[in-house]
């Protein structure tokens, strides 16, 4: 192997994250640039784009390649509006569900204030929702990998996404599963709002990585 070829494959030292992200290949750029989008325009998401996102999702790795996922797409405005309303009501009515969320989210006061506001819309007005169901009890982690694939692929197309964990109780309700033709055995892993962003999502920050052992 020549020196020139070796140079091409050996990563250069990274002095600035921002600079390295700008130079990075598409996948890395998508990882760093994707944001949870909570403001959407009215433009619908085409069937072709939804199919592309679902196809990206199913290319995620899964344990022993069991591919334990199934998808529901909701695009009808009146159905989205009804689910948004019912899902919000569930959140407000059923404290145990909120307690589960509470253990995972640090800023509960902000969350409570947000969800109880009359302006709060569970899906942030997105014109499409893709709900990922785990088709086996152990399949939820695989579905999260599929979800991330979907969100990164969406970013690459210029589409915005927002995971809507708060809508999980609704999509795990027996009557909603029945209405959607979803098996009672399946578990809603993650609903994801999808749409064309209206403006730029605010930047977010990350705590420094906790590498607790490196032996
Ligand atoms: C499992 C999961 C559930 C989430 N549920 C919601 C939700 O119900 N509503 C919402 O607006 N954002 C939700 N989010 C988005 C997070 O709030 C968001 O990813 C986080 O604040 C970091 O922002 P960023 O994705 O723009 O970097 C969820 C994210 C994950 C991973």
Compute the distance from residue 3 Cα to the ligand 1 centre, in Å.
45
* pTM of the predicted model over 0.85: yes
Q: Sort residue 167 into left (φ over 0), alpha (ψ -120 to 50) or beta.
A: alpha
Within-domain flag for 30 = no
Decide if 190 is inside a domain.
yes
Ligand 1 geometric centre to CA of 126 (Å): 14
Please report the atom of ligand 1 found closest to the CA of residue 202.
26
Q: Is 208 domain-assigned?
A: no
Phi/psi of residue 27, each to 5°? -65, -45
- What pLDDT shows up at residue 198? 98
d(CA 114, CA 198): 20
For ligand 1, the distance from its centroid to the CA atom of residue 141, given in whole angstroms, is: 16
13 domain-assigned: no
The CATH number of whichever domain residue 165 belongs to comes to: 3.40.109.10
SS3 189: strand
Q: Which three-class secondary structure string do you get for 28-93?
A: HHHHHHCCECCCECCCCCCHHHHHHHHHHHHCCCCHHHCCCEEEEEECCHHHHHHHHHHHHHHHHH
Nearest ligand 1 atom, CA 204:
27
Structure tokens at 171: 């999509």
Nearest CA to ligand 1 atom 1: 165
Rounded distance between C-alpha atoms, residue 71 and residue 119, angstroms: 28
Per-residue pLDDT of the chain (215 residues; tens, 9 = 90+): 333 344 445 444 455 566 676 667 889 999 999 999 999 999 999 999 999 999 999 999 999 999 999 999 999 999 999 999 999 999 988 744 444 454 555 567 777 788 889 999 999 999 999 999 999 999 999 999 999 999 999 999 999 999 999 999 999 999 999 999 999 999 999 999 999 999 999 999 999 999 999 99
Enumerate the β-bridge partners of residue 161. Answer: 36, 194
Structural domains counted in the chain: 1
| Residue 53 belongs to some domain of the structure | yes
Q: For residue 35, how far is its CA from the centre of ligand 1 (angstroms)?
A: 9
Q: Which of 84, 101, 163 to mutate to test the pocket of ligand 1 (most atoms within 8 A of CB)?
A: 163
CA-nearest of 43, 32, 50 to 192 is 50
Does residue 61 form part of some domain?
Answer: yes
Q: What is the pLDDT of residue 111?
A: 78
Distance 48 CA to ligand 1 centre (A): 25
Which amino acids bring their CB within 6 angstroms of ligand 1?
35-36, 38, 162-166, 190, 201, 204
Q: What is the pLDDT of residue 104?
A: 54
Ligand 1 mutation pick, 30, 33, 36, max ligand atoms within 8 A of CB: 36
Classify residue 1: in a domain, yes or no.
no
Q: Which domain holds residue 150?
A: 36-195
Please report the pLDDT score of residue 15 as a whole number: 53
139 Cα–ligand 1 center, Å: 20
The pLDDT assigned to 93 comes to 86
Name the β-bridge partners of 130. 73, 192
Q: Is residue 19 in some structural domain?
A: no
């Amino acid at each position: 192997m020549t020196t020139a070829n070796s140079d091409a494959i050996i990563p250069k030292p990274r002095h600035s994250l921002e600079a390295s992200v700008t130079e990075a290949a598409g996948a890395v750029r998508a990882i760093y640039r994707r944001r949870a989008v909570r403001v959407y325009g009215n433009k619908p998401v085409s069937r072709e784009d939804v199919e592309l996102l679902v196809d990206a999702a199913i290319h995620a790795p899964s344990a022993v390649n069991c591919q334990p996922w199934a998808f529901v797409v909701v695009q009808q405005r009146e159905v989205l509006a009804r689910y948004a309303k019912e899902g919000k009501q569930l959140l407000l009515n059923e404290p145990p569900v909120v307690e589960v969320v509470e253990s995972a989210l640090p800023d509960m006061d902000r969350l409570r204030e947000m969800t109880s506001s009359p302006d709060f819309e569970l899906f942030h007005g997105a014109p499409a929702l893709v709900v990922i169901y785990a088709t086996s009890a152990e399949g939820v982690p695989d579905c999260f990998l599929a979800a991330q694939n979907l969100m990164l692929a969406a970013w690459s197309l210029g589409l915005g996404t927002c995971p809507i964990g708060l809508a999980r109780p609704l999509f795990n309700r027996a009557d909603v599963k029945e209405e959607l033709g979803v098996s009672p055995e399946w578990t809603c892993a993650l609903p994801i709002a999808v749409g064309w962003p209206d403006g730029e999502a605010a930047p977010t920050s990350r705590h420094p990585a906790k590498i607790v052992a490196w032996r």
